[in-house]
Every structure is written in C-alpha cells, then in structure tokens.
Amino acid sequence: MKMTFRWYGDKADTISLNQIRQIGYVKGIISTLYDIPAGEVWPRERIHALKAEVEAEDLTLEGIESVNIHDDIKIGLPSRDKYIENYIKTLEALGEEGIHLVCYNFMPVFDWTRTDLRKPRPDGSTVMAYDQKYIEGKNPLEFAEEIRKNSLGHDMPGWEPERLSHVLDLFEAYKDVDENKLFDNMVYFLKAIGPVCEKYDMKMAVHPDDPAWPVFGLPRIVRSKETIAKILKAVDKPYNGLTFCAGSLGTNPKNDLPGIIRSFPGRIHFAHVRNLHHFAPGVFEEAVHLSSDGSFDLYEICKALYDIHFEGPIRPDHGRNLWGEQCMPGYGLYDRALGAAYICGLWEAIEKSNR
Ligand code: DNO
C-alpha cells in the first residue's frame, strides 16, 4: 500500500503540499482539478502542471478524486453520450500523463451528506456528524443552503456550487430515476468507457454512497456487499473497481467492513480508512481514527486489505477539527496526519507479524 493524502490544489486547499510532505508518513497525493465543472474535458496541460507541482515536493500523484460524473449520465438523458465522450477524453489525457486511478461516485444530486459540520466534542475538538432525523422532512434546497453557510466560505468537496445552484431542477430531472434505472445508467457509462480504461490501464474506483441509504428520496446503489457485487459483476473487468471507504459503507452498521474487503480481491483500487462512532441507527459522528474511539476495528480493516494483497493507495479520511485549525470541515491537516501515522503503524505491525 502507499499512504496518500487528499489535496484540493493550491487555490482551494488550506494546506500546502510542503505541509503534507512534512507529515513524513505520506508519499502520494490524491487530487483533482477542482475548478472544472462536471462534464467538461480536462486539458492535458492542466493535468501535467498538477503532476509537476506534486512532484516538485517529492510526492507522487497517485490518482484523481474525483472526475465527477455529469448528472445527465446518471439520469440517462440523450445528452449523456456527449458527456461520456468528454469523460473519455479526460481519461485519455490522464492516461497520457501516466495516471491510472480515478475515484468517482454515482450518487444523484448530492455527494456525501453530514447534518452537522462542527459538532463539539467534550475535549474542545469538533467533528462532522449525522442524524437521520434531521434530514427527514427537510427540503433539500434548504439543506444545501445550510451546508453552504456552515462550511464558512470553503467550497465543500462534493458540494460544488455549480451543482447546488440548481438542486430543485435536478430533483425534478431525477423523478423517474429509480434504483434500477440508476444502475442501468451506471452500467451504460462503465461499458462506454471500457476501451479507454483498458488502453491506459485506468482503474475506475467507484466511491460508495454516504450515508449508505437513500436520502431525500433519491436512489443510492453503492451501499452494501450485495450492491457492490452486482456492479462489479455487471461489467466484470478489472478496470471496474471499488474505492473501499470505511466511513461510507460503515454508516450502516450491518455492513461487515473486513468482510466486504475480503469479498473483492483484485477489485479494490483505492481505500479510505477512517472510523465512525455510532450512537443509534442513523446517528453517528466521525470519531478519532483509533479503533477504541469508534465503532470499527481499524486493525481488522487493515488486516483484511493486507490479506487480499491490496497494493493501491490508502488515505486517511475525514478528520476532526483540532487545535483551532482553520480548514474545510473534515479536511484539516492535523487529524488526517494523525490518521495517516496510525494506519502506517498498523500496517507495519501487520506486515512484520506476517513475515
Ligand atoms: C468524502 C469523499 C467523497 C468522494 C466522492 C468521490 O469524503 O470521500 O467526497 O471524494 O464521493 O466522488
């Protein structure tokens, strides 16, 4: 495995590549071109420049999170072919630049959803948290506006302004899209990009839905071992893979996380390793990465990845807000650095005890 860190680029991120380099445990970067709206082609020069910037700090660009999928593809509108064409061009440009991993999601309208971006913990830190009761009966527009306000001027990853500006139109456009349609549209997309993925050895790693159930009545189809197996089987090629995300799949306590990992050897291309603390069904907060602070056993998660010979990038994920850091919710430096160190420690111990 290679320890990586998500970085939003020098305009959007509050953290510099040099700070990430100084963590010491992190060798690779997962990044994106944050300013390019979903559906547009990524210019090869921009990718080249991003890579050069990362390499100038003696780090490597290990993959892209995300190349977002235009909603017309998820809805299955006739215009999807044009957007798929653009997606293919972007994959080509990435492949030409030697990048072989793309994380994306297939969630309608909203990306990952939290109901509280700054829940205080008794020690003075804050965490992101979720309470299903808060979502029920809430108007999605009002909710999107709250997220925007609470992110204190940071564009929240997954909540890009261009998407939020037409939330209600999107809801209208999705009204006939149920789980089956969304699934068919995903398969259509995956088949269409097959040739370019195979040509460039591009690994497509779908990110699970977060939380792992439908929100605001929108279908969600990447949420359990069974739903993932169905997707991987529908396009049964190595390029069609998964981002194993502990925090997303783990929102549903019924998901056996190490079991999910062990079910998909060779098809997990990227891993997001973090913890959650569950209080009740549908009520959780994003805890310290440490196993004893949350509901997941991070040792068992790392062990399962090790046992399936996982060789891709791992990154720590959403962290607490610590020591008064001014940063995007979930994406500060300090707690994710602690998470990276912890995961590397677990990994070294697992490796050595298996020699
Ligand atoms: C949440 C992230 C997601 C992820 C996208 C992938 O923290 O892991 O925003 O990047 O869903 O497209």
pLDDT tens digit sequence for 148-160: 788 777 777 777 7
- Residue 147: the pLDDT is 81
Strand-pairing partners, residue 30, are: 6, 63
* pLDDT on residue 50: 98
3-state secondary structure of 171: helix
| Ligand 1 near 112 CB (within 6 A) | yes
Residue 57: predicted pLDDT? 98
Q: What does the pLDDT look like over 208-232, one tens digit per residue?
A: 999 999 988 899 999 999 999 999 9
Q: Write out pLDDT tens, residues 176-190.
A: 999 999 999 999 999
Known catalytic residue: 70? Answer: no
Q: Which of 104, 112, 317 to mutate to test the pocket of ligand 1 (most atoms within 8 A of CB)?
A: 112
Residue 15 or 216, more confident: 15
The H or E element containing residue 3 is: strand 2-6
Q: How far is CA 146 from CA 73, 141, 192, 212, 343, in A?
A: 27, 9, 37, 21, 33
Give mean pLDDT, residues 280-295: 97
Ligand 1 centroid–CA 353 distance in Å is 33
Beta-bridged to residue 127, according to DSSP, are 119
Q: Is 326 exposed, middle or buried (0-12, 13-18, 19+ CB in 10 A)?
A: exposed
Active site includes 317? yes
Strands 60-65, 126-131: pairing is: unpaired
d(Cα 225, Cα 267) in Å, to the nearest integer? 13
User: Measured from the CB, is residue 111 less than 6 Å from ligand 1?
Assistant: yes
Residue nearest to atom 11 of ligand 1 (CA): 105
Read off the pLDDT of each residue in 327-353 and give the average, rounded to a whole number: 97
As given in the structure block, the two tokens for residue 144 are: 């999107």
Pocket test for ligand 1, best of 65, 70, 74 (most atoms within 8 A of CB): 65
Q: What is the pLDDT of residues 81-130, one digit of tens each?
A: 999 999 999 999 999 999 999 999 999 988 888 999 999 999 999 999 99
Could you tell me how far CA 121 lies from the centroid of its own chain? Answer: 25
